[in-house]
Structure 1
Amino acid sequence: MTQNPPAAVRPRLSFKLERWHRRAIYATGAALLASGVAWLVLRYFLRPVSEFGETVNPFEPWAMKLHGLAAMVALFFMGSLIHVHIRRALKSGRNLVTGWAMIATLLLLALTGYGLYYVASEADRPLWSAVHWIVGLAVAGLFVLHIVVGRKSVQ
């Protein structure tokens, strides 16, 4: 196992993404956050009440479908970061704490999203869902922190 060289010896690698790539990732993240928050609001605060009790808001399935679509696009863009952004960051040893936190958190979101769709029974679905949306809300702040720390490490 090789160790990272001291900071003074490390080559100066650029991890800056091209504008289109950065904007696509930001737009995908915004779509994920917006559709996830929309689902939460529709699910927990805007359920219509009929003579038989609460019913599913008609927009709830659409929020979920949009969220699923955005998740597929996000997985594509996460894969696109491996070669240029993640590999170079690992070589240079910069922004590793928030970078690894992003990788772990996004992996947890992908696993819990998969679990909600394919694994969770009706009995444990609330637990899977709560973990997924709590981590999903937290990743937005982590994403901003990762960007801020990364930009400061360049200066």
Structure 2
Amino acid sequence: MTRPPGPTTGRIAFKLERWHRRSVYATGLLLLLSGAAWLVLHYFLRPVTEFGESVNPLEPWAMKLHGAAAMAALFFVGSLLHMHVRRALRAGRNTLTGWAMIATLSFLTLTGYGLYYVAGESDRPLWSLLHWVLGFVVAVLFVVHVIVGRRSVHD
């Protein structure tokens, strides 16, 4: 019988439990989809009335869902710090994409905060552009991080 990786086997365990991994994946996917939905609704599906373009009625709902998912994501990213991030850094595994994830998620959080609390009407488009570009970057980076991490297990 083989033992799971951990202190008794001399290996550092930082693989997430199934429920934790699925929660991180689901939250990230919900963030990506709700953010992309908001972009499509805001820029491409604006109804035109006799008074000009107006807000798509689904746009506020996409933003509310995105905000709720962001709160859950902050919780799950925080939950990764102790077991996953700290132990991976100690083991020296997947540090390049890991640090890139930490930096990108930090900037994504700052731009989200900025959009909600700091941005005025004149600079909101810049904050928004930075935020959604970072959102797509972190989605790609996340996939790369998982792939590199899984490959490093077999090396």
Same fold (TM over 0.5): yes
What is the match of residue 20 of structure 2?
21
Inter-partner Cα distance in structure 1 for 2:129 and 2:33: 17
1:84-103 matches, within 5 Å, as 84-103=83-102
Tell me the C-alpha RMSD between the 2 structures.
0.6
1:105-154 residue CA offsets vs partner (Å, 9 max, x unmatched):
00001000000000001100000000000110111110000000001111
Task: Give the drift of 1:12.
Answer: 2.3
Q: In the alignment, residue 12 of structure 2 is paired with which amino acid?
A: L
Gaps spanning 5+ residues in structure 1: where?
Answer: 1-10
Q: 1:15, CA displacement in angstroms?
A: 1.2
Letter in 1 for 2:42: R
- For 1:29 and 1:94, locate their aligned partners in 2 and report how far apart those are by CA, in whole Å: 22
**Could you tell me which residue of structure 2 aligns to residue 6 of structure 1?**
none
TM-score (ref. length: structure 2): 0.92
1:105 matched to 2:123? The reply is no
Q: How does 1:49-60 map to 2 (within 5 A)?
A: 49-60=48-59
SS in structure 1 of the partner of residue 13 of structure 2: coil
- The one-letter amino acid of 1:60's match is E
Name stretches of at least 5 consecutive residues in structure 2 with no aligned partner: 1-9
Tell me the percent identity.
72
How do 1:131-150 residues align onto structure 2 when only pairs under 5 Å count?
Answer: 131-150=130-149
2:85, 2:123 → 1: CA distance? 34
Number of aligned residues = 145
What is the CA deviation profile of residues 78-122 of structure 1, one whole-angstrom value per residue up to 9, with x for unaligned ones? Answer: 000000000001100110000000000000010000000000011
Tell me the alpha carbon deviations over residues 5-29 of structure 1, each in whole angstroms, 9 at most, x when there is no partner. Answer: xxxxxx5212110000000000000
**Paired residue for 1:44?**
43
**Runs of 4 or more consecutive aligned structure 1 residues displaced over 2 Å after TM superposition:** none
Asked whether 1:80 is paired with 2:79, we answer yes
> Structure 1 length as normaliser, TM-score?
0.92
**1:82 & 1:139 partners in 2: Cα distance?**
17
